[in-house]
């Protein structure tokens, strides 16, 4: 893609025609032809098969099968986890389950990891990580009398991995119990080198807990091969499992029996239906489960994975990079005169699948764009996030969305922007 062709809509149409993933868009509900959806990094589109599948689960499984359907449902968390492990996460069978929320899973694994490193008093984190992750670590540190060290993170470029490596290899490295990081920054889209971080942490004797919420489904992951210890992630972004769908949880096989999570529930109990008096966790990954899963939300993962498995993650990544390149070049050509600047790493291979643009009036811009049928999102203090989900986002969606944005910022559009009321928080 050259700079010249990147700026013509005809070029975007040609890229759509040549896209090997183009047919997969038909597997999603896209009912509003004039709406341009560039927010798959927050909530993925609805797979077309999901309503019918959930109706079947409700009417046949619940309505007709009643409690007998638990014979099918009881191991759904593990079966779906194995599918996600094989296709998307680069993990082995028995290393991934779907359960709880991303935040609850992160708490469970962080607490278990800290217990497994007695005597070490330091937790290492990204100063600009997603707020819940930071809050959970603040709480754990306060409860246990630990020291939480947050590393400097550039709001545009992300965490400085050289500083991370120096910290792990320095005089205090032997006191670090746990490192908690997001592979892709929720704000800027900056992408870390997982394998390099894992190696540095292993040399220091620390465990690493990854948040893969903005990576799963768009970044080719190799959790086992890259030596990952622990990971969690959302399923309702690029995995399209639905709002509030249970998150995924990964624990490397050899760590499973060495860790005991803090929330002891009957789904993690050995011989679950014996209703034993004392808690004795099973030997495998099920020890990280807690209680009865939200079955209808869990069920929505089945048709979502059916679609996802039609596309190798390498192809998804390739298209994601090309979508991001188009967005970045159009933004540079069209939006710089209106005060926008890139707020993501300039090297596309250092980004996930969303592009951040900074503008002093970004919140008003985001609201005014929605009124024009372009859905993206705003993150404080001044970031507009353009999320490109390669399963269904077209090159023409990116071209048209940014074209509407430049028209909005033109003379007449800017008058409309000035009247858009900011969100009350």
Residue 64 pLDDT > 80: yes
* Six-digit token string for 196: 């390099």
Stated as kind and residue range, the H or E segment containing 6 is: helix 3-6
- Beta bridge partners of residue 204, listed in sequence order: none
Residue 412 pLDDT > 80: no
In 188-315, where do the E strands start and end?
A: 207-211, 230-233, 247-251
Query: For the chain, what are the domain ranges?
Result: 3-48+312-419, 74-308
- Beta bridge partners of residue 39, listed in sequence order: 387
Catalytic pick among 39, 156, 211, 382: 211
Residue 422 pLDDT > 80: no
3-state secondary structure of 190: strand
* Six-digit token string for 66: 């009643």
Residue predicted with more confidence, 2 or 114: 114
Q: Which runs of consecutive H residues, i.e. helices, occur in 153-253?
A: 161-169, 194-204
What per-residue confidence (pLDDT) applies to 272?
87
Alpha carbon distances (Å) from 180 to 142, 150, 209, 212, 233:
16, 10, 5, 11, 13
Q: Per-residue pLDDT tens for 171-185?
A: 888 999 999 999 999
Give yes or no on whether 3-48+312-419 and 74-308 have one common fold.
Answer: no
The question of whether 130 is a catalytic residue gets the answer yes
The question of whether 250 is a catalytic residue gets the answer no
Q: Per-residue pLDDT tens for 133-175?
A: 999 999 999 999 999 999 999 999 999 999 999 999 998 889 9
Q: Per-residue pLDDT tens for 224-252?
A: 999 999 999 999 999 999 999 999 999 99
- Burial class from Cβ neighbours inside 10 Å (0-12, 13-18, 19+) for residue 67 reads exposed
Residue 3 pLDDT > 50: no
What percent of the chain lies above the pLDDT cut of 90?
A: 92
Task: Give dist(CA 20, CA 395) in Å, integer.
Answer: 13
Catalytic pick among 83, 108, 385, 394: 385
Task: Give dist(CA 193, CA 183) in Å, integer.
Answer: 8
What per-residue confidence (pLDDT) applies to 411?
57
Catalytic pick among 28, 37, 107, 130: 130
What per-residue confidence (pLDDT) applies to 421?
46
Closest C-alpha to 390, from 231, 235, 240: 240
Catalytic pick among 27, 120, 237, 317: 237
3-48+312-419 carries CATH number 3.40.50.720: no
Mean pLDDT of 73-87: 97
What per-residue confidence (pLDDT) applies to 416?
53
Distance of CA 305 to the CA centre of its chain: 15
Task: Give dist(CA 203, CA 199) in Å, integer.
Answer: 6
The question of whether 37 is a catalytic residue gets the answer no
3-state secondary structure of 251: strand
Are 211 and 233 in contact by the 8 Å Cβ rule? The answer is yes
At 415, the pLDDT band (50, 70, 90 cuts) reads low
- Burial class from Cβ neighbours inside 10 Å (0-12, 13-18, 19+) for residue 117 reads middle
74-308 carries CATH number 2.40.33.10: no
Residue appearing with tokens 């900011």: 422
Alpha carbon distances (Å) from 259 to 109, 224, 262, 391, 396:
8, 18, 10, 36, 48
Residues in the chain, how many? 425
Note the pTM of the prediction, 2 decimals. 0.94
Mean pLDDT of 11-22: 96
What per-residue confidence (pLDDT) applies to 173?
87
- Burial class from Cβ neighbours inside 10 Å (0-12, 13-18, 19+) for residue 321 reads middle
What per-residue confidence (pLDDT) applies to 414?
53
Catalytic pick among 186, 236, 238, 395: 236
Residue 425 pLDDT > 50: no
What per-residue confidence (pLDDT) applies to 109?
98
Mean pLDDT of 375-401: 97
């Amino acid at each position: 893609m050259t700079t010249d062709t990147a700026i013509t809509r005809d070029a975007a149409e040609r890229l759509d025609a040549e896209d090997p993933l183009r047919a997969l868009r038909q597997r999603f509900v896209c009912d509003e032809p004039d709406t341009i959806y560039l927010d798959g990094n927050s909530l993925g589109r609805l797979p077309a098969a999901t309503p019918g599948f959930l109706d079947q689960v409700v009417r046949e499984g619940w309505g007709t099968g009643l409690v007998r359907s638990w014979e099918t449902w009881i191991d759904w968390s593990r079966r779906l986890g194995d599918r996600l492990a094989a296709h998307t996460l680069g993990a082995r069978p028995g290393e991934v389950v779907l359960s709880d929320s991303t935040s609850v899973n992160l708490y469970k694994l962080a607490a278990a990891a800290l217990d497994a490193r007695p005597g070490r008093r330091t937790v290492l984190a990204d100063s600009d990580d997603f707020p819940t992750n930071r809050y959970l670590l603040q709480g754990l540190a306060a409860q246990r009398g630990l020291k939480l060290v947050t590393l400097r993170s550039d709001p545009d470029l992300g965490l400085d991995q050289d500083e991370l490596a120096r910290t792990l290899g320095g005089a205090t490295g032997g006191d670090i119990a746990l490192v908690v990081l997001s592979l892709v920054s929720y704000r800027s889209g900056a992408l870390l080198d997982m394998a390099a971080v894992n190696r540095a942490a292993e040399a220091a004797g620390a465990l690493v807990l990854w948040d893969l919420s903005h990576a799963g489904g768009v970044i080719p992951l190799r959790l086992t091969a890259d030596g990952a210890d622990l990971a969690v992630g959302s399923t309702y972004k690029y995995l399209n499992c639905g709002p509030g769908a249970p998150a995924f949880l990964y624990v490397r096989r050899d760590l499973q029996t060495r860790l005991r999570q803090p929330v002891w529930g009957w789904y993690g109990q050995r011989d679950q239906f014996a209703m034993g008096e004392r808690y004795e966790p099973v030997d495998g990954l099920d020890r990280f489960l807690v209680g009865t899963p939200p079955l209808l939300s869990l069920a929505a993962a089945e048709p979502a994975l059916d679609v996802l498995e039609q596309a190798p993650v390498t192809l998804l990544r390739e298209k994601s990079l090309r979508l991001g390149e188009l967005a970045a070049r159009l933004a540079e050509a069209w939006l710089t005169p209106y005060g926008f600047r890139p707020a993501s790493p300039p090297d596309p291979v250092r980004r996930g699948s969303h592009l951040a643009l900074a503008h002093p009036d970004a919140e008003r811009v985001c609201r005014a764009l929605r009124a024009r049928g372009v859905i993206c999102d705003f993150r404080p203090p001044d970031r507009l996030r353009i999320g490109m989900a390669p399963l269904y986002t077209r090159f023409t969606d990116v071209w048209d969305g940014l074209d509407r944005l430049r028209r909005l910022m033109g003379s007449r559009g800017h008058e409309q922007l000035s009247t858009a009321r900011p969100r009350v928080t």
